[in-house]
Amino acid sequence: MMNEEYVTLALPKGRLLAPSLCVLRSLGIPSDALDEIDRRLCVFDRDSGFRYLLVRPSDVVTYVSEGAADLGIVGKDTLLEKPGSVYELYDLGFGRCHLAVAAEKEMAKQHCDNPGNLYRSRGLPLRIATKYPRTTEKHFRTYGLDTHIIALRGSIELAPLVGLADVIVDLVSSGRTLKANQLAEVEFLADVTARLIANPVSLKVHRRMGTLLEPLRRTAEAGKDEPGC
């Protein structure tokens, strides 16, 4: 239930958590309560009136859209899968990586200048393994190809190696994982950074929301998208 007094923040567990806490601090939100993280998933900070929920990154949007949290921090990749259910307020600038199509190294080299040819050379339907079925479907629609999207939860890089898929769509940051699995990037899809999202109703009715977001608004206005630590 949405709480009038408390502001509830849904934070992603994993690699985005540390920089998220950093941003919270820069907003003047004390996240000390979260520093000694044990196994608790819900942390109250009674002094400041904040409540933190630690959830799976892919569930942050759901917590916020359903009103269980007022605000959330989540990667743009997850938002692309669920457009329109929450307000995407600010680009927080950290967690930078990108979504890309990748294929076997040799194949990628052969068709490095024209990904369309690579997709067509594989015979139809083109099998694509990904964690992001919606984004993938939308992207490949522009090619007008017959595609078969294989939705996986993790270890996407494995799919082309064992013949489960022809290509994959996944997040790439350093490219090391691709390299280690004899894969190479074929096509760029979208830039991904962490975003601050808000529940539409909270944004309108929660009394603390305006003052809370003011520092971010000023940072954005000044043209800096990355509030420092």
Partner 1 sequence: MLLTAAKDFSQLTKRRRGDMYSNLGRMIERTRIMREHVSILRETFDAWAYDEVIVPVLTDHELFRRQNPLPSSALYKMIDGEGEVLVLRPDMTAPLAHMAAGQWRDVPRPIRLCYFGEVYRRRLNGRGTHTLTQAGVELLGAEEPEADAELIALAAEALCALGVRQFQINLGHNGLLAELSDVLDLSPGEDDELRSALADRDLVGARDVLERRRHCGLVEPLLRIFAPGATADHLALLAELGESLRGLHRLRHIFEAAMDLGVHERVQIDVSLAGDFSYYTGAIFEMYCPQSGARLGVGGRYDGLLGSFGSPGAATGFALDLDMIQEAAACHEKAGRQKTCLVVADGHRRRTAYQRAAQLRDEGHRVAVKMIGDGPVGREIESWARARDYDSVIVIDACGCEHTRSASTRTGGGYDE
Q: Is 155 helix (H, G, I), strand (E, B) or coil?
A: coil
With binding defined as CB under 8 A, does residue 79 bind partner 1? yes
C-beta closer to partner 1: residue 150 or 171: 171
Q: Say whether the peptide bond before residue 133 is cis (omega within 30 degrees of 0).
A: no
What is the contact mask toward partner 1 in residues 181 to 210, using x (rule: CB under 8 A)?
Answer: --------------x----xx-xx----xx
- Please report how close the Cβ of residue 201 comes to partner 1 at its closest, in angstroms: 5
With binding defined as CB under 8 A, does residue 27 bind partner 1? no
Q: Is 137 helix (H, G, I), strand (E, B) or coil?
A: helix
8 Å CB contact between 203 and 153: no
C-beta closer to partner 1: residue 184 or 196: 196
With binding defined as CB under 8 A, does residue 90 bind partner 1? yes
Q: What is the 3-state secondary structure (H, E, C) of 182-210?
A: CEEEEEEEEEECEEEEECHHHHHHCCCHH
- Please report how close the Cβ of residue 8 comes to partner 1 at its closest, in angstroms: 17
Angstrom distance (rounded) from CA 52 to CA 48: 12
Using CB under 8 A, list all residues that contact partner 1.
67, 79, 83-91, 195, 200-201, 203-204, 209-210, 217, 220-221
